[in-house]
Structure 1
Amino acid sequence: MQSLSARLSGQKVNARDLDEVRKQLHQQVIDRLDLAQAASLSNEQLSSRLKNIIDKAVQSEGLNLSISEREEMVTSLIHEITGLGPLEVIMGDPAVSDILVNGPDTIFVERHGKLEQVEARFRDNEHLVNIITRIVGRVGRRVDEASPMVDARLADGSRVNAIIPPLALDGAALSIRRFGAKALSHEDLVRFEALSPEMMNYLRLAVVSKCNVLISGGTGAGKTTLLNALSNFIPSTERIITLEDSAELRLQQPHVVRLESRPPNIEGRGAIHIGDLMKNALRMRPDRIVVGEVRGGEALDMLQAMNTGHEGSMGTLHANTPDDALQRLTTMITMAGGKLDSEALKQIISRSLHVIVQANRLPDGQRKIISITEVLDVNDSGIEINEVFAYQRKGMDADGKILGGHTYVNESRMLERFYQSGVLPRA
């Protein structure tokens, strides 16, 4: 630190120089601290040890650091040694749902549905890759030149994706999708006006009467949140099996078996897909099957399960409208090598699905259920659908918040099913 100390000796340290001081002090700490022993220390003990090392280094170098700057440096070094570096503070913010790192100098977060850039940054790409390695290493995964892409799930349920150079051209990229400490309930969703009380009551009737429900929407629209909430309407006496690529569902019933797919190993072998789990789940005596996200050929397996004794099953799918969702199901089955013709596929879909719930994230960040649509029979123009509820935009306020409300569109065609199931008394 000779050149820096000569330049800064006795002077106030600015933010840029403080980063350089921190970087060089970090190396001094590494040289002086037994990292294996540090891992066994409490935060208080480690803080005291680091403070002593920093005080000695600052004194020997003649740096003019204030008490607050020294405390900030201690905290930063603790995060570096035992935590996630500059991401540690962000991970502690309950309002942050997504953390997006686009190289060492650019970090975005999503708060309340809106993306914003934060001041935190990594020293360089090596620093970022080291933190990524630490993150995925904690859950037994690896990322290196031989395996430059990785998906992982953290202990708190957060979902992580990382990709490093040379595939990432501007430095390593990291995406973390976080989930709240507590899953939102159906009461929470109504209170937040994601949907109306009447819509939630309709969905309660649909779940209890064992309608097969598909939740459609884009990334970050709240599909999994709604699926978690609706699952609470499933009677506690039923056996539920969940199938997911990355476990996000948090069902509260006592009889739940959670299954998770597995990516291939570094040799490209050993992958277990959702379709494989679906076939196995059917042998496990499920009352209902819940698919975290339908992405491929397992769509046909799911529909057949829904139509052969496993009514009341649910899943999510990426699509922008209920019509798009029906088309995507057809496309996924066809692209996976399904040998059914278009007419046969339409018949299977119409007989298997009962309700499509369309979730959407509005431009201002609000998450809304914008449609509840019933799937009926096949007619000359395709699969007949009946939209029961819809969200209608009415304008925008001075702060850019979209104004609107949910409305009842058409009478439900599921009333007879609700009556026969005993969940809705006849008038």
Structure 2
Amino acid sequence: MFGRKPLETVSGLYEDPDEWQGPEKEQKPVQASQEKITVSVANTERVRQLFFALINSSIAANMSKEQLVGKITQAVTEIVDSEKIPLNWKEQSLITQELLNDMMGIGPIEVLLKDDEVTDILVNGFDCVFVERAGLLEKTDLKFRDNDHVLGVARRIAASVGRRVDESSPMVDARLEDGSRVNIIIPPLSVQGTIISIRKFSQSQTTLSALVSKGGLTAQMAAFLDVAAAIHLNILISGGTGAGKTTLLNALSSKIGDGERVVTIEDAAEINLLQPHVISLETRPENIEGGGEVSQRDLLRNALRMRPDRIIIGEVRGSEAHEMLQAMNTGHDGSMSTIHANSARDALTRIEYLLLTHQQNFQSSAVRSQIASALDLVVHMARDHRGHRYIQSITEVVGVEGNVIVTQDLFVVKEGQYSERGVFSGMYEQKNVRPHCEEKARRYDMEQELLRVMKW
């Protein structure tokens, strides 16, 4: 099928650049059927060692994925035939895919990136891999060969975005080709070995309707948030880790008009906007010499010179809080961001803390006034012990009275809507208050729509 040769002649095939890079029909590993296929460790390791002894890695690095697939498939077939290794075509295909994942992917966990049910991939050393499905963690039977294998994958991920991970720089944030966010930490900081945490990037944009169907909020709440985005309310989404803040941010951003220029600022790009006029900016950590860092604050300052209609910050957690509020107060209405907090009130307190920490000449009263003037809405996300994500409250920022930021809840979870085990039942209460954003809705000729949604 591939013009098989004795094994001793195969090495010459792969040492010759012309043989590697010549015309090649596209070949893909055979996709195995749904049943689980396993190959003995001894056979897999034998083929692997012979394969890597034959190839010229520098030539392989310059080949396209299609070319590499064909060459790996041919090499595996010839090795199996020459060495009389008892492997059928499905097992050979599995080894071919593993070799390809080792050379161009992320090793044994590459298959998890293709699993749409998996949202997080957590590697705790070479022999322990967890995933999150439907909000719950579960251990997999996937393993790396050894510590060097998982460290090599971590270094390849870092190098793909121009970063490095070693003892002098043992922590790194990176992004995979599909947009998935990656955090890597290695020894000596990590006791268990190399730790890789991957938050998968959704290729499709989530809508508020989809969140309603999953029980994350009611149709009335979704209709209100539709109006809130359309009338350019400045929205802060709060919640804990994994509560669904970025998912809701993506859903809200779908209501941004096609005629608006939007600038997004993130550490690792997760916001997925489909509008035609979107500028995505990403921070850069300092290099090995300690220079070259570009922070969210730097990007936000630059974004203000880019004539944005809206600015979306993936997460506010430092000195950029000041510039974000300044932008919201100077004509960039409709801006959005997320923050880690335990409640809507805690989110406002944390913003105040960030401002006072990084702007030491500010007075508390001035900071609270600035927050109340800039922010219109705080949407708090939560997650119960089953992994179900939902909106816990939608709160308006009304103003300042007596040096206290005044808020009013529009929608909150009904009392008694949690079982003894902390499971949310999905019932909300609309507070009997007139929305403070009515005046802003009037500017966009949506006052009647707002009042209809709020049943006034």
Fold similarity call, TM over 0.5: yes
* Alignment partners' CA distance in 2, 1:241 and 1:68: 48
Give the structure 2 partner of residue 225 of structure 1.
247
Check 1:418–1:28 CA distance in 2 against 1; reply closer, same or farther (3 A cut).
Answer: same
- Secondary structure of the residue aligned to 2:248 is helix
Match of 1:201 among 189, 202, 223: 223
* Alignment partners' CA distance in 1, 2:259 and 2:87: 64
**Per-residue displacement from partner, 1:264-321 (whole Å, max 9, x unpaired)?**
1111111111111122222222222111111111111111211122222111111110
* Alignment partners' CA distance in 2, 1:46 and 1:182: 32
Give the structure 2 partner of residue 285 of structure 1.
307
Mapping for residues 94-243 of structure 1, pairs under 5 Å: 94-243=116-265
Determine if contact 2:72/2:96 at 8 Å carries over to the other structure: no
Give the structure 2 partner of residue 54 of structure 1.
80
Is the aligned partner of 1:413 residue 2:436? yes
- Secondary structure of the residue aligned to 1:146 is coil
* Alignment partners' CA distance in 2, 1:323 and 1:397: 25
Q: Could you tell me the TM-score, scaled by structure 1's length? A: 0.89
* Alignment partners' CA distance in 2, 1:100 and 1:343: 43
**Per-residue displacement from partner, 1:46-96 (whole Å, max 9, x unpaired)?**
223212213433x2xxx6656654543343333223322211111211111
* Alignment partners' CA distance in 1, 2:59 and 2:268: 34
Determine if contact 2:120/2:198 at 8 Å carries over to the other structure: yes
Match of 1:302 among 305, 308, 324: 324
Q: Could you tell me the TM-score, scaled by structure 2's length? A: 0.83
Mapping for residues 320-399 of structure 1, pairs under 5 Å: 320-380=342-402, 382-392=404-414, 394-395=417-418
Give the structure 2 partner of residue 89 of structure 1.
111
Determine if contact 1:397/1:403 at 8 Å carries over to the other structure: no
* Alignment partners' CA distance in 1, 2:73 and 2:423: 44
Deviation at 1:324, TM superposition (A): 0.5
Check 1:238–1:81 CA distance in 2 against 1; reply closer, same or farther (3 A cut).
Answer: closer
- Secondary structure of the residue aligned to 2:378 is strand
Check 1:142–1:213 CA distance in 2 against 1; reply closer, same or farther (3 A cut).
Answer: same
User: Which structure 2 segments of 5+ residues have no match?
Assistant: 1-36
**Per-residue displacement from partner, 1:75-126 (whole Å, max 9, x unpaired)?**
3333223322211111211111111111011111111111111000111100
Check 1:81–1:286 CA distance in 2 against 1; reply closer, same or farther (3 A cut).
Answer: closer
- Secondary structure of the residue aligned to 2:107 is coil
* Alignment partners' CA distance in 2, 1:139 and 1:381: 46
Is the aligned partner of 1:43 residue 2:66? no
Deviation at 1:45, TM superposition (A): 4.5
* Alignment partners' CA distance in 2, 1:310 and 1:67: 60
Match of 1:423 among 433, 443, 446: 446
RMSD over aligned Cα, in angstroms? 2.4
Determine if contact 2:205/2:272 at 8 Å carries over to the other structure: yes
Check 1:397–1:382 CA distance in 2 against 1; reply closer, same or farther (3 A cut).
Answer: closer
What percent of counterpart residues are identical? Answer: 43
User: Which structure 1 segments of 5+ residues have no match?
Assistant: 1-14
Check 1:140–1:235 CA distance in 2 against 1; reply closer, same or farther (3 A cut).
Answer: same
